[in-house]
Amino acid sequence: MGFEDAGHATALGKSVLREMDVEARKDYLARHHLADLTPRTITSPPELLRRLETSPLAPAVTDLEEYALGTVCVAVPVYSGDTIGSLGVSLPANRLSRLPEIRERLLPTASRVTRSLSLTI
């Protein structure tokens, strides 16, 4: 499943949603059903928006078994001009305690990817 089907449930998708402007987020939510993929999947648009805006690891976002039980993920945004993307790492849920460390490694990596993409345009 990709952004069109599960952007609300994956860290990669939520990273992109978090970086969108308010109108783009509203448009996405109006056009996409927030499918209930696991018991932890956020299916309420107001709750999803609240969590995106108050992410304690911002600019990173997490998927805590929302897409697949037994898997957690952290993702950070990357850019190529006006195009938003994301870079993430998934791991077994029993390694959840590593997410802050992985976030700290992803942030500078995402900056390098963004700079690299900006140089190739």
3-119 has which CATH code?
3.30.450.40
Q: Where in the chain are the domains?
A: 3-119
Does residue 1 have a pLDDT over 50? no
Q: Is 0.75 topped by the overall pTM?
A: yes
35: left (phi over 0), alpha (psi -120 to 50) or beta: beta
The per-residue pLDDT for 3 is: 65
Percent share of the chain, pLDDT over 90: 75
Q: Please, which residues bridge with residue 79 across strands?
A: 84
The per-residue pLDDT for 120 is: 58
Quick: pLDDT tens for 5-34: 788 999 999 999 999 999 999 999 999 999
Provide the residue count of the chain.
Answer: 121
The per-residue pLDDT for 29 is: 92
| pLDDT, averaged across the chain | 90
Quick: pLDDT tens for 65-119: 999 999 999 999 999 888 889 999 999 999 999 999 999 999 999 999 989 888 7
Does residue 36 have a pLDDT over 70? yes
Does residue 56 have a pLDDT over 80? no
Closest CA to 70 of 45, 104, 96, 46: 96
